[in-house]
Copies of this chain bind each other. A is one copy, B any other.
Amino acid sequence: MTKQLIFGHKNPDTDSICSALAYQSFKKQLGENVEAVRLGSLNKETEYVLREANVDAPRLIEKVEDSIKAVILVDHNEFQQSVDNIRDVKITEVIDHHRIANFETNDPLFVRVEPVGCTATILTKIFRENNITISEQDARLLLSAIISDTLLFKSPTCTPEDEKIARELADIAKVDIEEYGLAMLKAGTDLSDKLVSELLAMDAKEFTMGDAKVEIAQINAVDIAEIYTQQEELEAEINKVIEERNLDLFLLVVTDIINSNSEVLALGNRSKHVETAFEVELLANRALLEGVVSRKKQIVTKLGDTF
């Protein structure tokens, strides 16, 4: 069988990278010809994870090469979040924990989507259902993905199953979950070497809501105020992106990972939707969303409903 690629979404986060790597291990143990790849640069958090796990980063691809006939998607399904030529290849599998939208295939395929906090939680179940051993290294990768997506179990997207599986993985990985988790999350908030344009693109996803194109970028921080010292530069860059990509709304979500709040910055001709969705008033284009940390569960759903 010809090689299949496994990859997560553009602007990959720790789940997209680690789930691709862990699923590669799983498939190789079954004798399948697969390669985990990535669709963008690693963030600081993921760099920390791979360094601690002593694992090389997956190969970066711009598009799926002609020689590849089939791919496996992890941690995403919406085509606009996937590789640019996704419509030209056969998708044989999807393992994901997001809503399904802007996704279709011509052929039956294998799909496993569950409303849990992290793709790695589903993958851990798949390892077990198939009696495939989880190595210490894979356990660390899977655990890191869960810590990242659930903000160390503090996000409302975190289910009891995520936490239970994470604690079991921590035993296999021989990791102190609180200590390692905090160090990992903090590593991700080191943005000292980032240009403003890089900050905005780091963890940005595009959504279609009604007839509107909406981009939602998220930045995790220990100190929200520090990010907004650059508000002027951020706004200039966001307005550039809105114009270039013809967006109706750009929402920057800066999330305080210690206190579990977010302060958003909304620009674009549909920014009023943010006020409606969250019952807040934008002051200088900004608003504090108390207790909001999850783009998927607390932002996309509510904002989508207003379009």
Which one of A100, A108, A112 has the greatest number of beta carbons of chain B within 10 Å?
A: A108
A-B contact pairs, 19 of them (CB 8 A): A97-B108, A99-B105, A99-B107, A99-B109, A100-B100, A100-B103, A100-B104, A100-B105, A100-B109, A100-B111, A106-B304, A107-B115, A107-B301, A108-B297, A109-B113, A110-B113, A110-B114, A110-B115, A111-B114
Are A111 and B109 within 8 A (Cβ)? no
A98 close to B (CB within 8 Å): yes
Shortest distance between the CB of A295 and any CB in chain B (Å): 12
Q: Which residues of A contact B (CB under 8 A)?
A: 97-115, 129, 296-297, 300-301, 304-305
The 5 closest A-B pairs by CB, nearest first: A111-B113, A108-B115, A101-B104, A99-B105, A111-B111
Q: How far is the CA of A36 from the CA of B261 in the complex (A)?
A: 42
From B104, B106, B108, contact of A113 by CB (8 A): B108
* CA of A111 to CA of B305, assembled, Å: 22
Are B113 and A301 neighbours in the complex by a CB distance under 8 Å? no
Q: Which residues of B contact A111 (CB under 8 A)?
A: 100, 111-114
Excluding A103-B104, A108-B297, 6 further A-B contacts by CB distance (< 8 Å) are: A100-B100, A102-B104, A106-B304, A109-B115, A111-B113, A112-B112
